Structure 1
């Protein structure tokens, strides 16, 4: 860990940041489980989201961005391809390589999962007092800013 990272972590509090990371992971997993009959596993959802964000990409780029091993990314792409959610096309900059492209069905599947998880989150938010709902929504904007530098 770099010196600046150590100072930032100690200023915020290692336990508090660890608890936040664990809580965010738990929330995302529980929202995923709340979607009945979800047909796209988490790693494949990440691939679809990355392709939607980045556009056509090589498997190596996907593996680096997920992050996972290249064989794991290859397996995820193969499953998505079998389901018709992505397709491969020749890389215009290197005829020996291929890029992965999300299909319309892939975009639709990603949107369906996102909307279903958003509905599950909305139902949970509805159990909170209005001022807590606003605090959560405000935190969402801040978390989005924190997510951007690593992309």
Structure 2
């Protein structure tokens, strides 16, 4: 049991250090991390309701509302009437939001590639395949 605890702690610390490095390198843009996560989620699932954003980020409904308002003020997203339920609104990317997502993806890929270059081919393969598993795990939150 101690070994599993050590391995999970090592994974947690390693992920935090990589994310912190990428954030400092400018990969994650000037947005707050919650805004950045929400923006990527909107890009993947648009049109999307704020309640769904709250559930998937995850964060509270008021935090999701504030996050979307900030992204809207920045011109990155806009709210539209839900075509399935006229009483509700959905969030979609603007062209500026789509460009930010695209640019952030390019920068992240470049920065992460530099980190992956430090690894052996086997280690790179292991890290890259873990990405899909981590995404699956995060989707279950």
TM-score, reference length from structure 2: 0.84
The 1:36/1:47 distance shift into structure 2, 3 A limit, reads closer
The answer on 1:107 being equivalent to 2:98 is yes
Answer yes or no: is the 8 Å Cα contact 1:59–1:70 preserved in 2.
yes
Q: Could you tell me how far 1:51 is from its partner in structure 2?
A: 1.1
Q: Could you tell me how far 1:86 is from its partner in structure 2?
A: 0.4
Out of 40, 50, 60, the position equivalent to 2:41 is: 50
Q: Distance in 2 between matches of 1:43 and 1:125?
A: 25
What value does the CA root-mean-square deviation take over the aligned residues? 2.3
The answer on 1:147 being equivalent to 2:138 is no
Answer yes or no: is the 8 Å Cα contact 2:28–2:104 preserved in 1.
no
Q: Could you tell me how far 1:54 is from its partner in structure 2?
A: 1.4
The answer on 1:19 being equivalent to 2:19 is no
Answer yes or no: is the 8 Å Cα contact 1:32–1:117 preserved in 2.
no
Count of residue pairs brought into register by the alignment:
139
Out of 124, 135, 139, the position equivalent to 1:136 is: 124
Per the alignment, in what secondary structure is the counterpart of residue 35 of structure 1? coil
Q: Distance in 2 between matches of 1:37 and 1:149?
A: 21
Out of 54, 79, 95, the position equivalent to 1:88 is: 79
Answer yes or no: is the 8 Å Cα contact 1:87–1:101 preserved in 2.
yes
Runs of 4+ in 1 over 4 A off after TM superposition: none
Q: Could you tell me how far 1:150 is from its partner in structure 2?
A: 4.7
Per the alignment, in what secondary structure is the counterpart of residue 136 of structure 1? helix
Q: Could you tell me how far 1:109 is from its partner in structure 2?
A: 0.3
- Decide which structure has the larger Cα Rg and report it: 1
TM-score, reference length from structure 1: 0.79
Which blocks of at least 5 consecutive residues in structure 2 are unaligned? none
